[in-house]
Amino acid sequence: MTTIPEILSASIQKAFEEAQQDNLIPAAEIGDIAVERPQNPEHGDYASSLPLKLAKPLKKNPIEIANVLAKYLKKDGLLEDVVVANPGFLNFVLSRKWLQDQVDQMLSDPKSYGVTNAGEGKKIQVEYISANPTGRLHVAHARGAVIGSTLANVLKSAGFEVQQEYYLNDAGAQIDKFNRSLVARYMQSLGNDVELPKDSYPGEDVIAVAEKIRDLDSANYDTDDPGALSDLGKAGIRLMIEGIKEDIESLHIDFDNWFSEKSLFEDGQFEKCIGLLKEMGYVSDKDGATWLLNSNLGEEKDNVLIRTNGTPTYFSTDIAYHYNKFIHRKFDIVIDVWGADHQGQVLRLKSAMKMLGCDPDNLEMILVQMVRFKKGETTEKLSKREGNVVPLIELVNEIGADACRFMFLSRAHETQLDFDLDLAKSQSSENPVYYIQYGHARICSILDLAVEKKINFSNGSVSMLSHESEIQLINKILELPSIINAIAVTYEVHHLPHYSLELATAFHNFYQNCRVISENEKDLGLSKARLKLCAATKLALVNCLELMGMSKPEKM
């Protein structure tokens, strides 16, 4: 599906070239031609400020340029009129007939609505959440979760081949720490008076896992036997991952792949990757540790790959992991949705990728700013250590997955967020998400009524859709593809919930102004046309709700 701005940009480009051939405009480079929807409907359906931008390089009056371009712009099926406005805008009025016909077009081919080809079938991976499997997810994870999953959905619609991945940090020091905590909790659950080790996870989630193991496993673990303890740890991680999967499902998220950090070591990929860096001379031994010479590539400092004690750092496994994404699994683009506290990692990982021959521009990190927890007047950082975490599942149970998703989705990822659970609870009933879902439910009930009254509107004539709110609604519906394309470039998913609200507003407006199913027999033709518009709106709303991972209730 080609978007309207794309069509108009191409027309302007053509007009510009033709005017140049006729020597009415001096030669000049024009980059991308911006066509946008003006805020004021009096300024047309779409508008471009190109003449204002060209005024300087062309050394001509912007109005003059606009007039020339307007003359060369073909009034074709789509374009009905071009109006030149001060101080040099081109305002486009779309043909009513073309707009009306799009309703029929959508209904005859509903699958191609909202699908674009911006991604050109490229392989793209979105990795998100990737929380350590040493505890259940909490509210701070929800933000990245919602942003990542929605981004993946949108990229699919934009024509990418998308994989959603969760990176399981199942190797490393945090696993030992978890094991120590679990053993203590396990002993406690058996009635032993054991203290929790100093450096451990104090959360309830570990207790729950320990008790579950006690209840499930008839063969008790001999806590004096190292082998048994190792088995206990493995069972604990397994159960914790099951819990994380529950958390994720509660938010309507489904991963395509769970990638094990441990697997990087088991099949030698880690060794190979580090070996490669060594061969290329990017690695040096110093103070008994192995270092990556990042500073050669403009980084502030070198970084440790292998510690003095022989264990790999988080950084080095991350290099191997991303090498695997690009080289072994051949992703064209890799997106990591990370917490803002990973910021220091961005540049050095990119520079390591460059050493390995991967284009760092194909590695995109989306840094989601921290969520802080608000308690009365004070705010504090959520921390497992502090024990002030709110489990994700508790939030979802309180306010529902839809409201939860919408809340985190409608804020740009780089803004900080002070999260107030009480406020979230009290506001959940007036969450804007219901405004969108209400529009959907309203349409469903109208369409039900049409069935009840045996109105078959498949032969409705869309040419009867001429009320201002009808035209505005069609325009709004047709905007979705350009929203999807914009997100495919900027990865800013928060545009989607805002667009959805505008779409719902346009529908509620139409509903208020235009009676759909009339009691009057002679209005049957108009009813049928409006039913078509309702069906098209439903298609658009369903698209939005599905992209955002929300339910689409027919009744509320």
Q: Which of residues 413-432 bind RNA (CB under 7 A)?
A: 414-418, 427, 429-430, 432
User: Of 494, 524, 542, 551, which lies in the binding site for RNA, with binding defined by CB under 7 A?
Assistant: 494
Residue 478 Cβ vs RNA, minimum distance, rounded to whole Å: 14
Q: Is 36 helix (H, G, I), strand (E, B) or coil?
A: strand
Q: Which is nearer to RNA, 213 or 526 (CB)?
A: 526
Q: Which of residues 207-246 bind RNA (CB under 7 A)?
A: none
Asked if 37 touches RNA (CB under 7 A), the answer is yes
Burial group, residue 134, by CB count within 10 angstroms (0-12, 13-18, 19+): buried
**Cβ atoms 263, 156 nearer than 8 A:** no
Stretch that binds RNA, among 263-271, 354-362, 389-397, 497-505 (CB under 7 A): 497-505
Asked if 204 touches RNA (CB under 7 A), the answer is no
Q: Which is nearer to RNA, 272 or 342 (CB)?
A: 342
Q: Which of residues 445-484 bind RNA (CB under 7 A)?
A: 445-446, 449, 482
Residue 216 Cβ vs RNA, minimum distance, rounded to whole Å: 27
209: nearest Cα among 136, 137, 130, 131:
136
Looking at the chain, the number of H-run helices and the number of E-run strands are: 20, 14
Asked if 308 touches RNA (CB under 7 A), the answer is yes
User: Of 13, 188, 509, 551, which lies in the binding site for RNA, with binding defined by CB under 7 A?
Assistant: 509
Stretch that binds RNA, among 72-80, 147-155, 238-246, 308-316 (CB under 7 A): 308-316
Beta-carbon-side half-sphere exposure of residue 481 (alpha carbons within 13 Å): 20
Instruction: Round to whole Å and give the CA distance between 144 and 446.
Output: 37
Residues 6 or more apart whose Cβ sits within 8 Å of residue 553: 437, 440, 441
Q: Which is nearer to RNA, 30 or 187 (CB)?
A: 30
Q: Where are the alpha helices (DSSP H) in 400-515?
A: 401-409, 421-427, 433-452, 468-477, 480-490, 495-513
Q: Which is nearer to RNA, 211 or 302 (CB)?
A: 302
Residue 527 Cβ vs RNA, minimum distance, rounded to whole Å: 8
Q: Which is nearer to RNA, 213 or 396 (CB)?
A: 396
Q: Which is nearer to RNA, 4 or 213 (CB)?
A: 4
Site string for RNA, 367-406 (x = CB under 7 A): x-xx-x--------x-------------------------
Residue 201 dihedral angles phi and psi, to the nearest 5°: -90, 115
Strand ranges inside 21-160, DSSP E:
46-48, 79-85, 89-94, 123-127
Asked if 542 touches RNA (CB under 7 A), the answer is no
Asked if 132 touches RNA (CB under 7 A), the answer is yes
Q: Which is nearer to RNA, 6 or 18 (CB)?
A: 6
3-state secondary structure 158-220: CCCEEEEEEEECCCCHHHHHHHHHHHHHHHHHCCCCCCCCCCCCCCHHHHHHHHHHHHHCCCC
SS3 percent helix, strand, coil of the chain, rounded to 5, is 55, 15, 30
Asked if 67 touches RNA (CB under 7 A), the answer is no
Q: Which is nearer to RNA, 53 or 278 (CB)?
A: 53
Asked if 271 touches RNA (CB under 7 A), the answer is no
Site string for RNA, 280-299 (x = CB under 7 A): ------xxxx----------
Q: Which of residues 164-203 bind RNA (CB under 7 A)?
A: 169, 172-174
Q: How many residues bind RNA (CB under 7 A)?
A: 96
Q: Which is nearer to RNA, 15 or 213 (CB)?
A: 15
Q: Which is nearer to RNA, 51 or 391 (CB)?
A: 51
CA 156 to centroid of chain Cα atoms: 11
**Cβ atoms 350, 322 nearer than 8 A:** no
Stretch that binds RNA, among 19-27, 138-146, 350-358, 548-556 (CB under 7 A): 548-556
**Cβ atoms 320, 274 nearer than 8 A:** yes
Asked if 343 touches RNA (CB under 7 A), the answer is yes
Instruction: Round to whole Å and give the CA distance between 430 and 415.
Output: 23
Asked if 345 touches RNA (CB under 7 A), the answer is yes
Asked if 514 touches RNA (CB under 7 A), the answer is yes
**Cβ atoms 550, 437 nearer than 8 A:** yes
Beta-carbon-side half-sphere exposure of residue 519 (alpha carbons within 13 Å): 0
Residue 470 Cβ vs RNA, minimum distance, rounded to whole Å: 12
Stretch that binds RNA, among 47-55, 67-75, 153-161, 223-231 (CB under 7 A): 47-55
**Cβ atoms 172, 261 nearer than 8 A:** yes
Q: Where are the alpha helices (DSSP H) in 478-523?
A: 480-490, 495-513
Residue 57 Cβ vs RNA, minimum distance, rounded to whole Å: 10
Question: Is the backbone peptide bond immediately before 87 cis, with ω within 30 degrees of 0?
Answer: yes
